């Protein structure tokens, strides 16, 4: 099951660029990145509702939702913000530089969250290898910003 989940994660990562491109096209059609993201999230919500009702990944226990900490409810806000900012940037820039910056900034924040064990994550110290990897990603993201034309 571990390898199935890792494979699905690779597909999800690959779809990030596809998502940016499709949302950019939708934003061009409706003349608003915010409206495009709203419409895209409606489609996503409908899809998730179908998966939930199918029971494929479990139906969960909605009655336990109030037990979640207040900050756990902010995930939807982060998604809306992130996707809207991605769409606005995709309308001005290529996907390569955006993906590089997203990966680099995501890795940096993940390292800090893991280091301190914030947000209920298992604590995992930052080490030299992780810092080197993050620096290389930032260099790669910076190189993606160079325009060759």
Domain ranges for the chain, please list them: 1-92, 94-149
pLDDT at 145 over 80: no
> Are residues 107 and 133 in contact, defined by beta-carbon separation less than 8 angstroms?
yes
How sure is the predictor about 81, in pLDDT bands with cuts at 50, 70 and 90?
A: very high
Q: Judge whether residue 149 has pLDDT over 70.
A: no
Q: How confident is the model at residue 148 (pLDDT cuts 50, 70, 90)?
A: low
The pLDDT assigned to 142 comes to: 80
Q: What is the pTM of this model?
A: 0.79
Helix (H, G, I), strand (E, B) or coil at 92: coil
Distance CA 43, CA 35 (A): 12
pLDDT confidence of residue 25: 96
Q: How far apart are CA 97 and CA 113, in angstroms?
A: 24
Confidence of residue 91 (pLDDT cuts 50, 70, 90): confident
Give Cα separations from 97 to 16, 87, 108, 142 (angstroms): 13, 13, 17, 8
């Amino acid at each position: 099951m571990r390898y199935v989940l890792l494979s699905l994660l690779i597909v999800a990562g690959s779809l990030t660029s596809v998502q940016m491109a499709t949302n950019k096209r939708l934003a061009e059609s409706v003349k608003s990145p915010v409206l495009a993201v709203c419409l895209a999230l409606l489609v996503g919500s409908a899809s998730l509702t179908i998966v939930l009702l199918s029971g494929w990944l479990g139906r969960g226990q909605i009655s336990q939702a109030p037990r979640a900490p207040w900050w756990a409810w902010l995930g939807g806000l982060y998604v809306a913000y992130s996707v809207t900012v991605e769409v606005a940037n995709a309308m001005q820039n290529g996907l390569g530089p955006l993906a590089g910056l997203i990966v680099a900034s995501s890795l940096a924040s993940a390292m800090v969250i893991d280091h301190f064990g914030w947000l209920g994550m298992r604590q995992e110290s930052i080490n030299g290898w992780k810092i080197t990897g993050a620096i290389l990603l930032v260099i790669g993201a910076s190189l993606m910003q160079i325009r060759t034309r």
